[in-house]
Amino acid sequence: MTEAERLAATDPQAMLDRLRARGGISRRKGLLFVCAVLRQGLTTDSAAAWQSLELAERWADGEATDEEVERFRQANPAPWAALTPPALDYLNPSIPFFPPAMRAAMPGLLLDIFGNPFRPRPPVAPPLLAQNDATVQRLARAAYDERLLPSGHLDPGRLAVLCDALLDAGCPADDEVLLHLRGDGPHWRGCWEVDAVLGKS
């Protein structure tokens, strides 16, 4: 798959295969991707269904334990997709696991969360992050934490403030982080640009 084909791709399984071939998919990124897919297509008033996504996202970030997840499963006996092993096994069998409407949203989510594998992105320069009492990192953390619910989208207003702070800190206006954050959204937890600022993988 060429870079142009990757950016125009509509087959999520092929995109995931390419990501694995070029360095793999972390458990955190894989689980946050699954949660973003489910938030795009979840149409239920079930409190437990939404709670399962909140728990899975905290689990991905190491803020919930395996024991907490197991207690939730026992108290809410249902095949919660974000907490079910097929969706967590680096997504190898997960594409058929999702209905067509959810699969259709996957290419855009993959680009937001994993970025362009043809252009590996180094971490944001530490001197830039350290300026103004680490303002850039604090703003990125706020954008990550204070997202819009139940959609799960990162708040565009907070991302705009983050972009301004990056510019003020010396980030070039044509930097890929800024170009993506200012481009078409939405953005999600796991968004590679916000992760680049926060040092997450």
Question: pLDDT per residue over 64-114, tens digit each?
Answer: 999 999 899 889 887 776 777 655 654 665 677 778 888 888 888 888 998
Domain positions in the chain: 3-114, 126-198
Q: Identify the residue whose tokens are 């594998």.
A: 117
- Give 28's contacts (C-beta < 8 A, 6+ positions apart): 60, 61, 190, 200, 201
Task: Report the 10 Å Cβ neighbour count for 23.
Answer: 10
Q: Contact 41/102 with Cβ under 8 angstroms? A: yes
Tens of pLDDT, residue by residue over 11-41, are 788 888 788 777 778 889 888 998 998 888 7
Cα(201)–Cα(29) distance, integer angstroms: 7
Helix (H), strand (E), coil (C) string for 121-182:
CCCCCHHHHHHHHHHHHHHHHHHHHCCCCCCCCCCHHHHHHHHHHHHHCCCCCCCHHHHHHC
Banded pLDDT at 132 (limits 50, 70, 90)? low
Could you tell me the two tokens for 153? Answer: 């989208």
Between the alpha carbon of residue 154 and those of residues 69, 139, 144, 187, 188, the distances in Å are 24, 12, 7, 5, 5
Give the model's pLDDT for residue 1: 53
**Shortest CA distance to 191 belongs to which of 81, 57, 97?**
57
